[in-house]
Structure 1
Amino acid sequence: MGAAVRPRDGDVLVHAREHSRGETAAGTVVAAKSTSLTALGGSISVVFVRLFVVGTVLTLVAAALLAVTASGRLRDRWTDAGVRYLGIALVPLSGVFLVMFVISAGDQYFRYQGFMMVFVTVLGAVGLAIAADKLDARAPTGTGRVLVLILLLVLAPVAAIGYHSSPYMYQPTSHVPASQLNGYAASFDHRQADIEFTGLRGGPQRYVDYYYGTQYSRFSFDFPGYEDGTSSATFANASYDEAYGETRYLAITQATFEREVLLYDGFRYSRAGFSRLETTPDVNRVRSSDGFRLYYVRATDPEDD
């Protein structure tokens, strides 16, 4: 796996569309994600422009068209009726969106906004077509169409590169190198059955599913440390004995190191924490292969104190 590239301003988009857990309000989720984005060197304003600039332009055009229609200045009877119909359809949708936002009912606002943009896009297209005709009537023939075409040529690429998955968004590859699979497989073969595994941002769930089979590992086999992760504070201070009070296996892959240190610049798991794995008493590397390391984190015996 190649080295990860540290994100530049706005290169990391943080999803505000994740499900809230418990009673966490959507505003709290967005605030937390915004803080993380800023800490990584990103910018909320840049993210907004990249995600919503095209929608904002179409919304302004649609709003102008609705205003012209409401004032009775749209001469085409059929166009007038269609615009009014779509405008009225947006009223209940906008109302529901505002109510859901005010009462913080979940955090799936992008779904409602995306549905509303279907109507806005149609109105925006009609507005641009009418604007082109108006410009052609007042300027040399073709001027309006050329200007609208230039606008679309500018907006289309901006909208396209915001699609999932886009150059703006870090998406880890789903490919797992054979060296990692072999490292975990060997560790499972030679582990002590009563010692739990742990890792960064979660346990070895994916590798357990691969090695033992998904159905068996999830429903029949109680693998020790299946989803257990090591917190950033525990990792930074190497306070494993204090956090666990029992012996653990800690698995680290090269991909994990590159993601945390090179991509996220040690935001949660720092380079110093990785270095302490090699110098902390009672933390011993018991397996090392290409892209995989396994540490035996021994709990301190009270009699040793």
Structure 2
Amino acid sequence: MNRATLNWTFTVGFVALTAGILLARANPATAYEASIYTGTPTATWVGFAIAMAIAVSAALTCHGRQQAIGLGLGAATVTSIVSLPAIRNYYFNGMGDALSHLGWTRDITSGQMNAHELFYPGLHSLGAAFHFLGGVPIERALLFGIVVLFVPFLVFVPLVVRDLSGNALAVGIAGVVSWMVLPINNIATHMGVHTNSNALFLVPVVLFALVAYLRRRATIERLPFGLSPFSVLLYTSAIALLLVHPQQMVNVVVLVAAVAGVQYFAHRRYDEHPMLEHPTMYTPTFVLGSIFGIWAVSNARFREAVEGFVTGIFSDDVGADAEIDQQGSSLTEIGGSLAELFVTMFLDAALIGLIVGFFVLLTWIGRTRLDGESRALVTYFGFALVPLGVMFALYFVGTMNMAFRQMGFIYVVLTILAGVAIAHAVGGLSGLISTPGANAVAAVVLGVCLVLGLMTVFASPVIYSPGQHVTEEKYNGYETGMEHGAGDTPYVGLGYDPFRFDHGINGLDGDDALTGGTAESGEVDGDEFNEGNYTGAYNDVDYYLMVSEFDETREFGVYQELRYSEAALSGVQYSPHADKVVSNDEFRMYAVSSDD
């Protein structure tokens, strides 16, 4: 394709992307959306699809400036998809940890606490900055914050691969794989205000600094205290990661320590090897470990998390087996299966993992075409996956949620290695058919994986998890109910504990910030509730039943009345023991009195 035709093709791609964004912006969400995919206009997805098709083709077939433009087009499109909650004017997005993070940000902006008092204040500080400098509501400021933290992932994955291999095809493939957003699994990592997940997107920045420190030679060889420009880059990027979430900093320390371990054995075994030319990672391992240790040991929240993890490992009722069995049984009851869910959520990740694993093994036995320098760097990352995998196994025994957070970090590393691995596979295939044919096969396979990855970036009913869109009406309903609740009467949800909304509305700075009813909040008992025993559905005490459109969509539309029946909820309004005290289009609150 000549340059003029290519330029016109890129123009079509950027125009399609711009049109998609404008159409999405012109069609804001007016009510709760269980799926942002179906809520967004079809024309927007057509525009995004055109842009992505051009971007994938350019990433795989172009070089130099044209490839960079293609990568930029693809990254801009994926960023637009991630930004849809902000583009389509969502009031807020996220109902679990996200609401607690909203509460902490509210505490910071109101002066109730200082940012440094938080264990990981990165996202909250960014949201506060948007709030004060841009004059936007805190809820919207945090939606902007997650986009800002996401962009480095798309930028630095190709940059790491460029330093790692120097192969243009590998750089392009790495860009495409990064667009799949494999670190997000919607089990323990989420695309939203979730600092553990948001931190994952900064990890490539640290890995870029690591590879630059190992491979590049600084013009200024030494700074004070034996530092170099690249070691300073490594430390500062790691500190930024620590401030967003310390768990990912732990993983970085483990990875750097694994590199140091490989170097130690290389120095003992070889007289000549590319690893011997690299600066040793002993000092960076010590410095990064010390930074994390000083930050973490003094924090009570960290100590409690460690205690919970250790307890989980030795507890009979905590672990993966029971949770998987329970989830599988529930899926079967509503017409789904774990196999179906695996294909939807993890087929692309599994395929990428298998390719990378096979490639790393071939690298270790010397059956790849990598030069010595690149082979050494791939070996570093490959061996780092061993302790990271052991940590995943320990988490899996202790608490499955933490295991899938660990998987998120592992897939950041796999995303980087995938660029090199798939490029070598395409190179081998081109020897069997032809280079255009091999590129076409790669484009089709990567395109299918890209669709699977992007269709599960956000939660939606397709993965049996309705979107956590928080509308203004819903937020105001909870706010009104909690503001005017009587004394310590508990707030009770339909399959959802309302205490998180207390965090988002009132903040978390001290126990006094929370309403009295939150201390005894919880979920109604499904068996009692379905039998119409509303007074006995929650410990035989007076309580407020809070029901939102999200609850009804999840329980009746997605879970198909697995836990609560629609008839039972409809019967609440006719019960002599229940009075509707707050109501709008998205939310209802009933005051339920006990028989006493």
* Residue of structure 1 equivalent to 2:333: 39
Contact 1:16 1:33 in 2 (8 A): no
Contact 2:547 2:588 in 1 (8 A): yes
Contact 2:573 2:580 in 1 (8 A): no
- The answer to whether residue 456 in structure 2 is matched with residue 162 in structure 1 is yes
* Residue of structure 1 equivalent to 2:468: 172
Q: What's the secondary structure of 1:115's corresponding residue?
A: helix
Moved more, 47-56 or 26-35: 26-35
Q: What's the secondary structure of 2:470's corresponding residue?
A: coil
* Residue of structure 1 equivalent to 2:564: 269
* Residue of structure 1 equivalent to 2:398: 105
* Residue of structure 2 equivalent to 1:147: 441
Contact 2:32 2:469 in 1 (8 A): no
Task: Give matches, 1:244-283, under 5 Å.
Answer: 244-253=539-548, 256-280=551-575, 282-283=576-577
Alpha-carbon distance in 1 for matches of 2:467, 2:337: 19
Choose which of 504, 512, 536 in structure 2 pairs with 1:219. 512
Q: Deviations over 1:118-159 (max 9, x none)?
A: 443343322322233333334344332332233222222222
* Residue of structure 2 equivalent to 1:10: none
Task: Give matches, 1:163-202, under 5 Å.
Answer: 163-165=457-459, 168=463, 169-177=465-473, 181=476, 185=480, 198-201=492-495
Call closer, same or farther: CA 1:81–1:44 in 2, change over 3 Å: same
* Residue of structure 2 equivalent to 1:123: 417
Call closer, same or farther: CA 1:174–1:294 in 2, change over 3 Å: closer
Contact 1:198 1:250 in 2 (8 A): yes
What TM-score, normalized by structure 1, do the two folds share?
Answer: 0.71
Call closer, same or farther: CA 1:152–1:218 in 2, change over 3 Å: same
Contact 1:234 1:240 in 2 (8 A): yes
Alpha-carbon distance in 2 for matches of 1:221, 1:154: 47
* Residue of structure 1 equivalent to 2:386: 91
- The answer to whether residue 347 in structure 2 is matched with residue 53 in structure 1 is yes
Choose which of 408, 411, 415 in structure 2 pairs with 1:114. 408
- What is the aligned length? 288
Q: What runs of 5+ residues in structure 1 fail to find an aligned partner?
A: 6-12
Cα distance, 1:270 vs. partner?
0.7
- The answer to whether residue 511 in structure 2 is matched with residue 236 in structure 1 is no
Alpha-carbon distance in 2 for matches of 1:186, 1:131: 59
* Residue of structure 1 equivalent to 2:362: 68
Alpha-carbon distance in 1 for matches of 2:339, 2:442: 26
Contact 1:209 1:217 in 2 (8 A): no
* Residue of structure 2 equivalent to 1:29: 323
Percent of matched pairs sharing the same residue: 23
When you count helix as a share of all residues, which structure comes out higher? 2
Alpha-carbon distance in 2 for matches of 1:89, 1:215: 38
Contact 1:197 1:224 in 2 (8 A): yes
Alpha-carbon distance in 1 for matches of 2:582, 2:412: 53
Kindly provide the amino acid, as one letter, of the partner of residue 399 in structure 2: G
Cα root mean square deviation, aligned: 4.1
Contact 1:260 1:266 in 2 (8 A): yes
Cα distance, 1:177 vs. partner?
1.1
Alpha-carbon distance in 1 for matches of 2:501, 2:388: 44
Kindly provide the amino acid, as one letter, of the partner of residue 265 in structure 1: Q
Contact 2:491 2:543 in 1 (8 A): yes
Moved more, 28-37 or 284-293: 284-293
Kindly provide the amino acid, as one letter, of the partner of residue 173 in structure 1: H
Cα distance, 1:219 vs. partner?
0.8
Alpha-carbon distance in 2 for matches of 1:197, 1:299: 14
* Residue of structure 1 equivalent to 2:88: none
Contact 2:507 2:514 in 1 (8 A): no
Kindly provide the amino acid, as one letter, of the partner of residue 219 in structure 1: D
Q: What runs of 5+ residues in structure 2 fail to find an aligned partner?
A: 1-30, 36-184, 191-307
Cα distance, 1:236 vs. partner?
1.3
Alpha-carbon distance in 2 for matches of 1:138, 1:216: 64
Q: What's the secondary structure of 1:177's corresponding residue?
A: helix
Alpha-carbon distance in 2 for matches of 1:194, 1:98: 42
What TM-score, normalized by structure 2, do the two folds share?
Answer: 0.40
Choose which of 15, 28, 39 in structure 1 pairs with 2:187. 15
Contact 2:319 2:399 in 1 (8 A): yes
Contact 2:547 2:589 in 1 (8 A): yes
Call closer, same or farther: CA 1:210–1:160 in 2, change over 3 Å: closer
Alpha-carbon distance in 2 for matches of 1:74, 1:171: 44
Q: Deviations over 1:161-216 (max 9, x none)?
A: 222456644223211417x8469748965x765765544345665776788x5569
Contact 1:283 1:298 in 2 (8 A): yes
Q: Deviations over 1:88-147 (max 9, x none)?
A: 33333334434544xx13321123323333443343322322233333334344332332
Cα distance, 1:232 vs. partner?
1.4
Call closer, same or farther: CA 1:259–1:57 in 2, change over 3 Å: closer
* Residue of structure 1 equivalent to 2:579: 285
Alpha-carbon distance in 1 for matches of 2:357, 2:513: 58
